[in-house]
Structure 1
Amino acid sequence: MRWIRGGRTLSAQLLAGHVVVLLLAGAVGFALWARALHGRLDGQYEQRALAVAAATANVPQVITALTDRDPAGIQTLAEQIRVATGASYVVVIDRSGVRYSHPNPALIGRRIEEPVVALDGHTHVGIDPGSLGRSANGRAPVFGAGRIPIGEVSAGVLEKDVSAQAVAELDDVAVYLAVGAVAGLLVSVLLARRLKRKTFGLELDEIAALVQEREATLHGIREGVVAVDSTGRLTLINDEAHLLLGTSAPAIGRPVRDVMPAGEMGDRLFAPSPDGEVTDVVVLHNGRVLVGSRREVRHASRVLGYVVTLRDRTDLEQALRELDENRSLTDALRAQQHEFSNRMHVISGLLDLGRYDEAIGYATEIDQQAAALADELAANIDDPRIVGLLIAKTTVARERGVELMVSCPRRLHVPPRCSAALVSIIGNLADNALEAITGANPPERAVFLRLESSDGSITIDVSDTGPGIPPGAAEAIFSGGWSTKPHPDGRQRGLGLTLVREIVRSFGGDIAVQPGAGARFVVSLPIPAPVRP
C-alpha cells in the first residue's frame, strides 16, 4: 500500500484508503454472496431433481418395466418427462445397476459405475459428477410388490444450468454493490473535503510539527496563555496560566465560566465582549498584578474562538511602587530643602539688615510651627510611620500650593499588622487627591484627611476640592489602568485605587466613593483582634 502513502496529501490518502476498503469489501461481499447463492441454488435444484425422480418412480409403466425387466418404452417415457420438467436427465436403473433410459442412448443397457443407493428404500440428493458432467442430483427408489425396492430413478440438472441461474441473479447483486460503492466513494470525497477544511489544508507531518512546536513554546514561555473555542470551552491552558490564575488541571474541554475565577478577572478577560478584543488591561488577582489581553482567532470570515495572554507584573509593580515612594520622599525632601532655603534667605536678609531680634523671632516661630505639626500628629497617632508619611505629604502639598489638613479627633491606635496597609492606603489616596488638584488647578486648593478609630475599625476619610469623579465612573476608577491623565513617562497608570481596594478587601473592609465635584473616599478597615500567645 505504499502507493497510498507516498507523496499524497492527507485527504488524497484518506480517499484512496476508503476506495481500497470499499473495493475489497465489495469484492469479498460479492464472493460470499455468490457462494451462498450457489449453495442455495444447488439445494433448490437438488430438491427439484428429487421431485422429478420421485414422480417418475411412481409411474406404473416404470414399475412394470423394472418388475418384468423389460426396458421397452422407458427411454421414450423418460425423455418426455425430462423435456416436460426441464431436467437435464432422467435415468431409470434396475436393481443390478443397468440403465433403462439415458439422454445418451449409447449408455442404455450399460451398468452405472456407482452403487444403486436408493435400494435402501430412501431418497438421496447431492452433487453427482455423472457421465454428463457435474449436476444437482436426486435419486428415488422404485418399489415393487410388497414395497420392495426393485430399482431407482436418477434425475438431475447440470451445473452449467445452475450457474447460468446464479449469474442471472448475481447481476442484480452486482448492480447493488456498484451503487453502494459509488455512494461510498461520494461520501469519502465529502469527508475528505471536510477534513481538509477542518485541518486548514495542513498535512499530517505539518500538524505533528505544529503540535510539537506548540507544546514546546506554550509550556516554555513565561506568559500565561489560555485558548477558548467558539463554544466557550477551554482548548488550551499552559503551566504559567495555571500558576497565575490559581487553576488546576484538568481544565481542557470544560466551559471557561466553570474554570476561570469570578470577579474582575473573569468579567474583563473571559466574559463576552462586543468587539471580542481587549488590550493590556490591568487586573489584581490573588495578590498578583496581571496584564491581560484578548484576541479573536479567525480563519477567513469564521471566528474560531479567542486567546487570552497574561503577564505577571507583580515584581515590576512592586519595584515601581517603591520607586514612587522614593520619588515622593525625594519630593518631600526637595520641598523641605526649598522651604528651608527660603527661610534661610529670610533670616540671612534680616541679619544683613541688622535686625537680630526679628531674625531670632522668625527662626523661633518656624521652629515652633514645624514642631507643633509633628507634636500634634505624634500625640494623636501612635504609629511613627504614618506620622512621618503625613509630615512628608504636608510638606509636598505646601510646595504645590495645596493645603493638606489632617484631623484625628481621638488618639489613633494602629495595630502592627495594619501599619503597612494604612501607610499604603493613606499614601495612595493622598497622592491621588494632590494630583487631582495640581492638574485641575481649582480656585480652592485643599485636601482634607480625617483618621478615626471606633467600634473595632479604623476610618480613613480623604476628600479634595478637585474636579471629582466623572459621572458613571464610580466603579470604573477601581479598574486597573483607569486614570484621568497619562503618565509623563508613558507607564501604565491607575493602579493606586485598585491596590487600595485589594488591600481593603483583604482585611474584610469596605471602600466608598462619592462622585461629583470634589472627590471623597471613605475607607472602613476592621482592626484584627490581637493574637494571644
Structure 2
Amino acid sequence: MTSVVPRTLAGQAVAWLLALVAVIVVVGGVLAAVDARLDGDRAARQEVTAVAVSLADAPSTAEAVMSPDPAALLQPVTEQVRQATDIAFITIMDPAGRRFTHTDPEMIGGSYLGSRAEALRGEVHTETYTGTLGPSIRTIAPVRATDGQIVGLVAAGITQQTLSDAWTAQLPLIATIAALVLLFAGAGLWLIRRRLLRQTGGLAPAELRLMYEHHDAVLHSVREGLVVTEAGRPALVNDEARRLLDLDGDHVPSEPESAPVPEFLDGSRTPLVDELYAQGGRTLVVSRSPVPGSRDSAVVTIRDRTELSEALGELDSMTSFAEALRSQAHETANLLHTIVAMIEMGRGAEAARLATSELQLSQRLIDELSESVAEPALAALLLGKTAQAAERGVALTLTEDSLLVDAATQLLPAGEMITVVGNLVDNALDAADPADPWVEVTVIGDASELTVVVADSGPGMAPDVFRRARMRGFSTKSGGDAAGRGLGLALVAQIIARHGGTLTAETTYGSVVTATVSAVATREPGTAEAETGEAAVPSVGQDR
C-alpha cells in the first residue's frame, strides 16, 4: 500500500508547509468573514442612528407631529428617505407609541414594538429587537418642540436578514481570494520542492541522516587531512587537517583578513598531485581534485611528510658525501698507482714529492675545517662538498670568519645542521654563475647563536620565487632535471622555523642566504617562516 506521506525530504517539507499555509488561509478566511459581519453590524448601527437623529432633529418633523394629520405629512417623507438609504423601516410616532409612519401603511396607527423609555428620557437608544418585520437593529430618538418638550419619537431600523444577505454576498470574494492565495502558495512551494530535490538529490530524511552520520564518521576516521573548498573558502575540514593546519576547535577560516588560509586552499580548482608545501612547521604533501558537477568546489587531501622529508634531506646530504668520498677514493687509487709506477721506474724521489704534495694539500684542507668546525659530521660534509664542487669546477671555500664550537649543537642538532648546510650548499652549487663559479660558506655558532651564510656567484631568484621555494616543494629546474627536487629550501625553512630562527636572503657581493637560530626566542617556533616571507628578496638560485 502506497503511503500518503511523501518519501523525500523536499516532498515532506513542502507538504508540511502546504498544510500550514492551508490552515493559515482557512483561518484567515474565517476571520475575514467574521470581520465582514461585524463591520456590517457596526455600519448598520451607525446608519440607522444617523437617519433617526437627522429626522428627529429636523424642525419640519416636530411641526408635522403637532399638526392635525401627521401621517399625511410624514409618510411620504419617511418613505423617500427609507428608499434613499436602503434601510428596512422608519417609524415616527407620538410619545405614547402610536405610529404615524410605517413601511406597511396598514400598520399606521398601531403601537410601536420596541423600547421607548430611553427616548422619552431624551436619549438616543440603539438595540436589536424583533418587530413586525422580524429581527432588526433599530435606533430611536426623541423629537423636540421649540420649547424642548418631547412631542414625538423617530425609530429607524435594518433587518438582520438584510445584513445577512449583504454579508453572504461578500463570502464568494473572500473564498476567491483564499483560493488564489492557496494557488500561488502551492505554485511557490512546488518551485521550492524542485530546488530542494536538486539540492538533496531526492533523498529521504532518514537517508540524509544516515549519509551525514556515515560521512561524519568517515571524515573523522580518515588518517589523511581532508578539506573541501567551496566558493573560494574552506567549507569542511576534518580532524587530521585541523591538526596539520593548526586550526583550533571548530574554527574554519572564512575571512582572509582574520584567518589567512594556506596557498593550496585558495579556492582554485586546478588539480594538484602530491605537491610539497611547508606549512606551520611541517612538510605537507597536497593533492587537489575538483568536485564533479560543481563549478567552484574542490577536495584537498593533505599528508604529513615532515619526518620523511627531513630524513630524505639528510640522506641526500649523506649520499652526496658518499659520492664525494668515492670520487676521492678513485682519485687516491689513481695517485697510488702513479706513485707505485714511478717507484718501479726508479724515480723514487719524484714519487715522494708527488705523494707529499697531494698529502699536504689534503691535510691542510682537513686542518682548516677541523679548526673552524668542531662538529665532525659537519666538517666531513663540508669536506665532501668541497670535493664535489671541485669535480664540477666550482670553487667552494670556508671563510676565515667561520668558527663553530660544540655548544652550537644545543641550538641545532647535528643532523638538522647537516640538512641546513648541505641543502644551502647544494642550491648554491646549482646556482653558481658558470662564467665565474664560486661558493662561500660561513658557519659561526656557539651556545647563544648559530649563523649559517652561504653565498654564490649566481643571479638569485625574484622575491615571489624565493617565497614559493621556501613555502613549498619548488624547483626552477625543468624537465628531467627537476625530478626529485623541490625539498631543499623548504626543508631548511622548516627546520629554521621550528627552532624559532630566521631565514633571509639578499644580493650584495653575490646571492647570499642567511639562516640564524638564537637561544633567545623572540617568537613562538613556527612563526619565523611567515616572518621571513615578508623579507623575500633576490636569493640563491635553483632549489633542490
So what's the TM-score if we normalise by structure 2?
0.70
In the alignment, the residues of structure 2 paired with residue 64 and residue 474 of structure 1 have an alpha-carbon distance, to the nearest angstrom, of 118
Q: Which amino acid aligns with 2:164?
A: S
1:304 matches 2:296: yes
**1:396 Cα deviation from its structure 2 partner:** 5.9
Alignment partners' CA distance in 2, 1:103 and 1:443 = 128
Distance 1:363 1:26 in 2: 110
Which shifted more, 382-391 or 9-18?
9-18
2:27 counterpart residue number = 28
Give the letter for the 1:6 counterpart: V
Match of 2:418 in 1: 423
Give distance in 1, aligned partners of 2:307 and 2:219.
22
Aligned residue in 2 for 1:158: 159
Which residue is equivalent to 2:141? 140
In the alignment, what sits opposite 1:130?
A: 131
Q: Give the whole-Å Cα distance in 2 for the aligned partners of 1:109 and 1:481.
A: 117
Q: Which one of 378, 386, 394 corresponds to residue 370 of structure 2?
A: 378
Structure 1 position 412 matched with structure 2 position 403: yes
Other structure's SS at 1:281 match: strand
How big is the shift at 1:35?
2.5
Provide the rounded CA distance (Å) in 2 between the counterparts of 1:530 and 1:204: 58
Provide TM-score, normalisation by structure 1.
Answer: 0.71
Specify which structure has the bigger relative contact order, considering alpha-carbon pairs within 8 angstroms and separated by 6 or more residues: 2
Aligned to 1:511: 505
1:189 and 1:348 map into 2 onto residues whose CA distance is 100
Higher deviation after alignment, 132-141 or 56-65 = 56-65
Is 1:313 paired with 2:305? yes
What residue in structure 2 maps to residue 522 of structure 1?
512
Identical-pair percentage: 28
**Preserved CA contact (<8 Å) 1:510 1:523:** yes
Q: Is the 8 A contact 1:126 1:136 kept in 2?
A: yes
Output the CA distance in 1 between the equivalents of 2:7 and 2:469. 59
Equivalent residue for 2:539? none
Q: Structure 1 residues 282 and 95, CA, compared in 2 at 3 Å: closer, same or farther?
A: same
Measured in 1, the distance between the counterparts of 2:491 and 2:12 equals: 59
Deviations 1:309-355 (A, max 9, x none): 33221122123234435544554565566567667777888999999
Residues 126-275 of structure 1: matches in 2 within 5 Å? 126-141=127-142, 152-169=153-170, 171-199=172-200, 203-230=204-231, 232-248=232-248, 251-252=251-252, 254-256=254-256, 258-260=258-260, 265-266=262-263, 269-271=264-266
The runs of 5 or more residues in structure 1 that have no matched partner are 66-71
Aligned match of 1:68: none
Q: CA-atom RMSD, angstroms? A: 5.1
Change (3 A) 1:253 1:103: farther
Please list, as runs of the form range in 1=range in 2, the aligned pairs for 1:98-109 lying within 5 A after superposition. none
Q: Which moved more, 1:234-243 or 1:95-104?
A: 95-104
CA displacement 1:263-290 (0-9 Å, x = unmatched): xx43xx24476x7444433222232111
Per-residue deviation at 1:159? Answer: 1.6
Query: CA offsets, 1:193-248, max 9 Å, x none?
Result: 44445556555444444443443333333333344432x44433333333323343
- Report the more deviating stretch, 40-49 or 341-350: 341-350
- Report the residue type matching 1:428 in the other structure: N
Partner Cα separation in structure 2 for residue 348 and residue 250 of structure 1: 75
Question: Match for residue 82 of structure 2?
Answer: 85
Paired position in structure 2 for 1:46 = 45
- Does the C-alpha gap of structure 1 residues 450 and 25 become closer, same or farther in structure 2, counting only changes over 3 Å? closer
- Give the SS at the match of 1:219: helix
* CA gap 1:394/1:51 in 2 versus in 1, 3 angstroms: closer
* Residue type of the alignment partner of 1:482: S
1:250-399 matches, within 5 Å, as 251-252=251-252, 254-256=254-256, 258-260=258-260, 265-266=262-263, 269-271=264-266, 276-297=270-291, 299=293, 303-328=295-320, 330-331=322-323, 334=326, 370-394=362-386
Provide the rounded CA distance (Å) in 2 between the counterparts of 1:52 and 1:431: 112
- Provide the rounded CA distance (Å) in 1 between the counterparts of 2:490 and 2:374: 27
Equivalent position to 2:473, from 477, 480, 491: 480
Alpha-carbon distance in structure 1 between the residues aligned to 2:324 and 2:179: 94
Note the C-alpha offset of 1:397. Answer: 6.4
Quote the residue 2:538 is aligned against: none
Q: Which amino acid aligns with 2:5?
A: G
The 5 A counterparts of 1:486-501 are 492-501=484-493
Contact 2:129–2:138 (CA under 8 A) maintained in structure 1: yes
1:120 positional shift = 2.9
Q: CA deviation at 1:162?
A: 1.9
Q: Is the 8 A contact 1:507 1:526 kept in 2?
A: yes
Query: Take 2:144 and 2:430, find their aligned partners in 1: how far apart are those partners?
Result: 130
Q: How far off is 1:160 after superposition?
A: 1.7
How many pairs are equivalent? 501
- Deviation per CA, 1:37-69: give whole Å up to 9, x if none: 32333233334434555537936555568xxxx
What code does the residue aligned with 2:279 have?
H
- 1:69 maps to which residue? none
SS of match in other structure, 2:403: coil
The gaps in structure 2 that reach 5 residues or longer are 522-544
The verdict on how the C-alpha distance between 1:256 and 1:373 changes in structure 2, with shifts beyond 3 A counting, is same
Classify the secondary structure of the residue corresponding to 1:33.
helix
Kept in 1: contact 2:270–2:289 (CA 8 A): yes
